[in-house]
Amino acid sequence: MGSIAGSGGYYVAAPAHWIVAQPGTLTGSIGVIFGKIVMGDLLDRLFVHRESLARGRHIGMEDLDRRFDPDERRVLRARIERVYDRFLERVARGRSLSRASLDAAAGGRVFTGRQALERGLVDALGDVERALAKARELGGLVPGAPAVEYAPPRQPIAPPASSAAALARYARDGLEAWNAAGVLLVSPLAGPDLF
């Protein structure tokens, strides 16, 4: 894990056979939070007209035009609790921790890599080279088997604020690049001609 592996990052890492973190890696945040920005008044001021058609009791609860009503808050709380329980179950199973011992590390708490090691959230401290060495070992590969990073092209620095549409396109493209992040591949077949 690099500089930050919190929340969703830790959720993805928890089932791994072996986790290496840097001593200062922000780790954990085993918790769930949800919110929404209510923008109805802002959109009214911007003369943006919205029309919603909905059928069903809670179908529009995530609508940004209004706040949650008390019944929707109960529904949302139940959803959050289900996701949190799934998160706890995933970490407990992946890290071979009891739910009781996991409670001390959960609840949205954040730790350094060193503290996470003490709590059983990671297996070792080190850098990418240490993680690659362990990946080779777990994969039954010889030490020094090639590792190649495959990454999409980097997003250029933000364009000048020529227009709101240009900035919106830049933000959209940035999110797409974020979702297409590269991976390190360790394989006896890895090499520049693999793909």
Backbone angles phi, psi at 98, to 5 degrees: -75, 155
- The answer to whether residue 162 is catalytic is no
Tell me how far apart the terminal alpha carbons of the chain are, to the nearest angstrom. 25
Catalytic residue, candidates 3, 7, 96, 98: 7
Q: Exposure string (b/e) for 45-71, b if CB count within 10 Å is 16 or more?
A: eeeeeeeeeeeeeeeebebeeeebeee
| Beta carbons within 8 Å of 73's beta carbon, 6+ residues apart | none
Q: Which residues are known to be catalytic?
A: 7
